[in-house]
Structure 1
Amino acid sequence: MMTVLRIVLVLIVAGFAGGHVWAQDLEPRIADMVSEPAKEAMPDTQVPEDEFERGTPRTAMEAYLRAARRGEFERAAEYLDFRNVGEDVLAIGKPALAEDFFQILDRTLWVDLDNLSLRPEGKLQDGLPSYREALGKIETRHGQMTLLLQRVPRGDGVSIWKVSNATVARIPELSEEFAYGPLGQWMSDHVPRISLLNVPLWIWLLLLSLLGTTWLLIWLLINALLRVGGSHPSPVRQSFNDLLRGPLCLMAALVVSGQFVAVESLGVSVAAVLRAQTLWLVCWAWTLNGVISLLAEIYLQRHKDSPTGLVHALLRPGATVAKSIVVVIIALLWLENLGFSPTAALAGLGIGGLAFALAAQKSIENMIGALTLYVSSPVKVGQLCRFGTQVGVIEEIGLRATRVRTLDRSVVHIPNAVFADMQLENISQRERIAYRPAIHLDGRSLPQSLVLDELLTQMRQVLNEHERVADDVVRVRFKAFEHHALLIDVLAYVDTTDYNDYLEVAESLNLALLGCVQKAGVRLASPMGVGAE
């Protein structure tokens, strides 16, 4: 479990460190060098055995860097050639010289291990003497200088590779030029010697503090400027403000921090960490998602008076899909920066597509259900509908579920696949509302049948004369005999789609019909079969 966690941590942090740091952290893969013609072939001669792995230029430099990163400078000094070096240089101390040389490399040069030879004799056609090999070139105040490795005798007749004594002799001069400032030196002396991705812990702390402080200051400045626009911005203005406070603020902090590193020259590895493409990819993904949200909000505000169109209904889930596509593209670019092939990643997605489809079967069903709801549009956002035994207003049709606010003001989330298969009654689409009161008369209170006939006529007259009742369908009929009651069937339509308006009209009709019943001297039947007085 710990191994998995370490691998995940390395992958995440290596992405922030950039491709060069990633390449340095991995040991050379000899099989890859054999298979790729651009890389050096396997050596024909036998590599001499050495306790410190100094048989070839590459293994010697790799072992030196490994020891230096661990803080083992006594061991790291074994990779420097101190022959014919002045006493003033040796007086500094061999471990101290090994540490200073490591600091010089960290601040001036990427050590490309793949460019160093794996042969015991080194590169023979690089324009240098056969016993030397170039480690790299650095810029100093006196001009360009080549750092050298040199093949030297070990003392038992075996030749090994070390940092050239010509380079060692200039370590004090280079250390003075590329030394850290007072703050850096103090932190280097007092912070534990821990390295993450070849960068000392104290530099990580300094960078994080710098980036965090810069971000905070820019964020406060942006907020101060945005407050001028008012404390209650519109939704579009709020989306724009979020874009400024979030990714654009981070981009500005990265630019300022990058300038600070360039001025302070904390080292090439630190500059690579700060200017890592992964951070910029994160910013771009964040920015593009913010722009998508802003454009969606602008469209919603411009068409808020007509929210029933298909484009309007598809806007929010469409924006979610667009954001997902942006994230996938950024992830593929991130993999490419780490050295992985996006083509291989896409092929892997194709192979795992079936397994993913099976695992995400319900999610896919819900997405198809959402598409069905958008295309067929049995109900739309803002409409009142009856689904199953409940009634509510559609608030959102998402990719996974439909959100409905019921008449009890509670919120119900129904999976789209289930909601699309339900019997949906769109109450908002009715052009008028039916008026169907249940009237049960007590048959024992009727003195004669003519009274009932006159009562039905009076009820029809009330409905026909009401200005809010449609005159094309008005029905008042003696429908059936029930136990201890006579059923009067009443049907009319109120010319309104507003339910509150309908209740007001229904109330006036109920009072008028009740007056007709009372005027005829007839009682309403009670549920227990006894006439209501």
Structure 2
Amino acid sequence: MFIARHTTPSNRFRYIIVSWFTALLLCALPAATSAQEVTEQDTAVAAPAPAWPEDSLGRRTPQGTVTGFIRAVADQDYTKAAFYLNLATATDTIRDGAAVAQALQRMLDQRSKTIPRSWISNLPDGDLEDDLPPNLERVGTATVNDQQIDILLEKTEGPAGGPIWLVAAETISKVPWQQAAPTETVIEKTMPGFLEDNRLGGAPAGHWLGMLLIAIASYLLAWGITSGLIYLIGYIWRKTRDEPTLGFIRAFSLPIRLYLAALLLVYLSQRLGISFVLRQRFSELTIIVGLIAVLLLLWRLVDVLTQFSQRRLVERRNMAGISIVLFLRRGAKIALVVFGTIFILDTLGFDVTTGLAALGIGGIALALGAQKTVENFVGSVTLIADQPIRVGDFCKVGDTSGTVEQIGMRSTRLRTTERTIVTIPNGDFSSQKIENFAHRDRFLFNPTLRLRYDTTPPQIQAVLRSLRETLTAHPKIDKTSSRVRLTEITADALKVEVFSYILTNDFNEQLEIKEGLLLTMMDAVNTKGNGFALPVQQLLLHKDGEGVEEKK
């Protein structure tokens, strides 16, 4: 009921994924290629449909044979069940097909492991990628006289043509159908007679009650095992009492408990001899419980990781990172729900291949219609990963300057100096030139002083000496880069360039230092020299052909 299926489950999964991505690839091909393919397909000869009719017992596929046999034995119609056995090539000693079918049922009831019906191939040719010949299909194993045998189906040709799958003669030859006193199972030994006589859903009522008790016992046993392990780990490893280790332990506890309970339910139901008809009814359910346990584990791990990341980002005051973490958590949970639903439907026997192909085509159409949304999301991821800006930084993006207030999934908001809000899409934001003023470690101090023309060279030297002493004496000026030089003699002034760095990253502090330096330099120019040069303007007036020049 809960058996490794060799290559079939992986083949089904691979088939689903390959079909999905094949649909994506075909949709992405150029139009010319598609037109060429259509033309070639129009000229190709269509493959002929199978000429053989449907089998009245549904034996055209391995899954149909197993389903039909289970229904027949559930109705205790062993004469009909015999039609699902390959008695034609069996040994000559086998005469009574109904007796063989009943003996096969008892063998399956006693310590057998059968593949869930939804996992058995539903194709006329069977599963061609397993490790068996093309005409054989393994659907389970059973234990007979302490020896494990394979339960095989073999493909034969029907009277009207076409494949007919039957229980293989190799398996039938190993069925102990001539035992005088069949061995009783544990459930048969302990079950009252009236529960054996009353049947429900193709199995004795006592087996249903036993299955319920086994399920309860399995969960309680799994709860005890996991609780004991958690206590033992916490007693040995003290770190498990603190976060984030405690969160990981709690995330694993419930999923492991559910998965262990499903394994115990399968194992105990096989060992105690629960009817294989009933076990087949519960086979998909146990697989789904195991799948839910895995999905629940991933779900809880996503919560633990995001909570841990959120705490770290809050400590670092990275609000934009928190937005990305929350978005990724929602996306991961949606993906878990989608893929979980797909696998559950596949386990229940629904054909999800067509739906996945349609989902791939719809995903391409949605992506084409949401290019800007995807572009903005990629831009937000870039902003968070590269971190050219953070919330609270003063920056200039294009022609817009302001303080970053929020980095969202679609856009970033800036508060300008005019106290207005500018919203920039993250796709545009990440592609523009970003100048971040918040990360500079010092401020440039680079004024140009204009001295009067009548300032003598000794006075200029005195002014330069005083300005240099001002820079050297200030504790917040970088001494290695500071300089004061007479750089240019222009038509209206003598230019003195001051170059230095103010050692602070606080904007208000640098304004205060800059103000003090400028006042001290103004005093030096006025006391050591003749003051600052005033702008000069020349005005030429023409009157009666004579030019008069005035200066201001």
TM-score relative to the length of structure 1: 0.41
What is the TM-score of this pair, normalised by structure 2? 0.40
